[in-house]
Amino acid sequence: MVRARSGFTLIELLVVIAIISVLAAILFPVFAQAKSAAQRTACASNLKQLGLAWQLYADDFDGGVCPSYYPVEGGELAWDFRQGAQPGLLHTYAREPRLARCPTFKGKSWGRLHTGYAYNATYLGGDYYDGILPAQSGQISDPPATALFADAGFSSPVFGANYLRAPNDPLFVAGKVHFRHLGRANVLWADKHMTSSASRFNVLASEPELGSLSPQDQAYDLE
């Protein structure tokens, strides 16, 4: 009588492991890309809602756009937060403070609960301590070419930056675009259209994920 074989031989186990390894090598990048695409989509949705809140704010203030920040008793009131981790100027219109958080960004945030996006402070939101007032929406002569919000950061490893700075701004080093979505950055423009930008400028070898949207200020200014 022939005894029935039970279990697997070593060769069979090795073949199965090899097949699983090949499948994993094929599928894991696909899963990673799918996850990244979903996060990029969620990020784009957040930015679009921030853009709507920004527009509602301007409508309520006769075209005066939301300030980047200004000092208040006990600290600072900014577009995204108030000192003490309270909601900021756009909260009334967005009604969801977590909109300021990119689902992909994991860096530190300078005391803000939510970060990942930056608002064009150089040309739109102004800078209180430098005496630069917020713009009027009517001053934006080319809205489709003026960045409003973008994925942003600074330094390496990348920290959160909530004020987007143009290349000629002395504070550019602290408010760069962060190309965090597989080499792309979500950008919301002043006409509220979204782009996923892969073109980056002013990149340093020490900060390969960071850069600007244009060589000079073309993508940020009001022209």
What are the structure tokens assigned to 119, written together? 């608002």
Q: Give pLDDT, residue 73.
A: 84
Q: Give pLDDT, residue 191.
A: 96
Q: Give pLDDT, residue 8.
A: 62
Q: Give pLDDT, residue 99.
A: 80
Q: Give pLDDT, residue 48.
A: 94
Q: What does pLDDT average to over the chain?
A: 87
pLDDT surpassing 80 at residue 140:
yes
Name which residue leads in pLDDT, 31 or 192: 192
Q: Which of 20-29, 130-139, 163-172 has the lowest mean pLDDT?
A: 20-29
Q: Give pLDDT, residue 115.
A: 85
Which of 161, 159, 156, 160 is CA-nearest to residue 204? 156
> Mind listing the pLDDT tens digit for each residue in 163-221?
999 999 999 999 999 999 989 999 999 999 999 999 999 999 999 999 999 999 999 99
| H runs (alpha helix) in 61-144 | 91-94
Give the chain's radius of gyration (CA, Å). 23
Q: Which of 22-36, 44-58, 60-74 has the lowest mean pLDDT?
A: 22-36
Q: How many CB atoms lie within 10 A of CB 118?
A: 29
pLDDT surpassing 60 at residue 34:
no
What pTM, to 2 d.p., does this model score? 0.83
Q: Which of 32-46, 89-103, 129-143, 146-160 has the lowest mean pLDDT?
A: 32-46
Whether the ω angle into residue 157 lies within 30 degrees of 0, i.e. cis, is yes
Strand partners, 119: 149, 163
CA angle 69, 61, 112 (to 5 degrees): 25
pLDDT band at 7 (very low <50, low <70, confident <90, very high): low
Q: Which of 3-7, 55-59, 92-96, 155-159 has the lowest mean pLDDT?
A: 3-7
Q: Give pLDDT, residue 13.
A: 74
- What separation in angstroms does the CA of 123 have from each of 67, 74, 149? 11, 27, 12
